[in-house]
A = this chain, B = another copy of it.
Amino acid sequence: MKCAVGVDFGTLSGRAVIVDVSNGKELATAVHEYRNGVIDEYLRYSPGSSISSRISYGTGPGTNIRLEPDWALQDPNDYIEVFKNTIPAVLKESAVDPADVIGVGIDFTACTMLPTRADGTPLCFLSEWRDNPHSWVKLWKHHAAQPEANQLNTIARQAGFGNILDRYGGKISSEWFFPKVWQILNEAPEVYTAADRMLEAADWVVWQLTGVETRNSCTAGYKAMWSKTEGFPPAAFFKALDPRLENIVDEKMKRDILPLGARAGGITEQAAQWTGLKVGTAVAVANVDAHVAVPAATVTESGRMVMIMGTSICHMVIGESEEIVPGMCGVVMDGIIPDKPGFEAGQSCVGDNFQWFTETCVPETYEKEARQRGISIHQLLEEKAAAQKPGASGLLALDWWNGNRSVLVDVDLTGMMLGMTLLTKPEEIYRALIESTAYGTRLIVETFQKNNVPIRELVATGGLPDRNKLLMQIYADVTGLPIYIPEATQIGAVGSAMHGAVAAGSAAGGYDTIIDASLNMAHLREESYQPIAENKAIYDKLFAEYVTLHDYFGRGENDVMKRLKALKIRCSQ
């Protein structure tokens, strides 16, 4: 039996899985929580174990340096600890001989980036930089580069580079690579100067395993404005932003971008010590969590959208041609699978919204009922909400509690609900929130469809499909599309393992393409959700109302949400 290992780096932990390459069966899994988690209030950290003797750690519990709101840092050592802890654990649990492990793949949150020396040493590992917050990893949800993102978007349009923005729904997010780099330059030019390399943490961990610096097409394309045909934006673009950035690509990055599934290198001696894998085991170039999930969800062709449904939703689609779709997060050739355009869109607030609701708006009587019956409050709400008929609550919401990612790309929008009466019950509000997120997905689906990206069915993965059957049925009824569920429970790690199998190649017992890997290693469950025609008919009416309000509040007719938000900031000071 040939096996592959996949490692999925999340926001709070890393997870490894070892799978049978012939059929994708998950043989063992292991999780390691980051010791320093998300560093977002003070620059404080536990020293952890050093990854090499050249690294000088801080000696105490960290510093008293207070971080601004919207900061979110991580410790790169935590990623190494994931390798050290999880890969030996899955090897042991599965009793697989390391000689039978033909490949390793990883996926990561993005854009999660860091400055390093030319040899890959993170600046934050060096005592002279360790107390400077800008030397640490900036996590994907570090939002403090918003001023830089705003300037970038304005200058790009003014300087004639609007066509680049169009590939990203018209706007570059503060979460992405160049706003974060520019923030370092603005606020800590000495760190910028000291950094020989600026790179994605995804690529950094692959470097640590292989000793080879590579860049992958997924993060380069979706987060760093790279395109297969045009490469990175030209020096003139960066110069227009800031003369000091003019040569950033040549000075601090790399122009060689490898397609997904390509072999980055082999496991080094040191990485073999960390992991128990054999020296030389193939390692795939890095990938992103949502993107690696697509082939693991059986999707390697156009027409089927993968939804990774958790606190938020990522909508992933493979197309036939590189279309400009308004409000998507990006289109990248080679972005999901080689030689096809990969489209990404997203909703910023899905599971998060239900979590907010259950924590903020559910009365004590419901909590008591759930306890008495030994079920969770989510289960109780789902049960009560499932007893309602579509349209029977009279409620309608806009799912913007955390802004709108697609298709409006506007973080300043906020939530809205109407239709409440003195008889409105918590489960009606709960159901209306679920429905509003389904309308948001339908609008994304229809926007793709109208722009020549066909979508005929949905494949749903992430935490929500297993936790909430009502939600899945509502999504089917609202969109009118069937929804299928992949078998893999650790979709990210399995997708990474599949890329590891491709990096190994068929000669080594793996696969030559991710399509072959997906055909053999990815499967759907038998259960599916089919739209119910009579529900769909009612949701068509409600969706029409949603669209009217979506456009009224979201497209400038009444910017009350933005005015209230501006007032809120002023009044909170």
Chain A residues near B (Cβ < 8 Å): 349, 352-353, 356, 359-364, 367-368, 389-396, 398, 401-402, 414-422, 424-426, 429, 538, 541-542, 545, 548-549, 552-553, 558, 560-561, 563-565, 567-568, 570-572
Contacts and interface: CB of A to CB of B under 8 A. Distances in A.
Nearest to A416: B418
B360 A425 contact: yes
Contacts of A552: 552, 558
A420 B401 contact: yes
11 contacts: A359-B363, A360-B361, A364-B368, A389-B572, A402-B422, A414-B418, A414-B419, A415-B420, A418-B564, A538-B567, A549-B558
A394 B565 contact: yes
Given A356-B424, A415-B420, 6 more contacts: A361-B363, A390-B571, A414-B420, A415-B418, A415-B421, A416-B420
Nearest to A361: B361
A568 B402 CA distance: 28
Nearest to A566: B394
Contact of A570 (B391, B426, B564): B391
Contacts of A402: 421-422
Contacts of A571: 389-392, 538
Contacts of A364: 362-364, 367-368
Given A363-B364, A567-B541, A421 B401 contact: yes
A11 to B, nearest CB: 16
A568 B394 contact: yes
A509 to B, nearest CB: 47
A390 B567 CA distance: 9
Contacts of A395: 564
A360 B390 contact: no
Contacts of A418: 398, 414-417, 553, 560-561, 564
Contacts of A417: 416-418, 420
Contacts of A549: 558, 560
Contacts of A424: 356, 360, 401, 415
A561 B396 CA distance: 9
A359 B389 CA distance: 23
B538 A560 contact: no
A396 B568 contact: no
Nearest to A390: B571
A406 to B, nearest CB: 18
Instruction: Indicate the member of A352, A420, A424, A570 with the most B CB atoms within 10 Å.
Output: A420
A391 B569 CA distance: 9
Contacts of A541: 563, 567
A544 to B, nearest CB: 9
A282 to B, nearest CB: 42
Contacts of A558: 548-549, 552
A376 to B, nearest CB: 14
Contacts of A421: 401-402, 414-415
Nearest to A394: B568
A232 to B, nearest CB: 35
A553 B538 CA distance: 21
Nearest to A368: B364
A568 B422 contact: no
Contact of A353 (B398, B419, B422, B560): B422
A548 B563 CA distance: 13
Contacts of A545: 560, 563-564
A349 B421 CA distance: 10
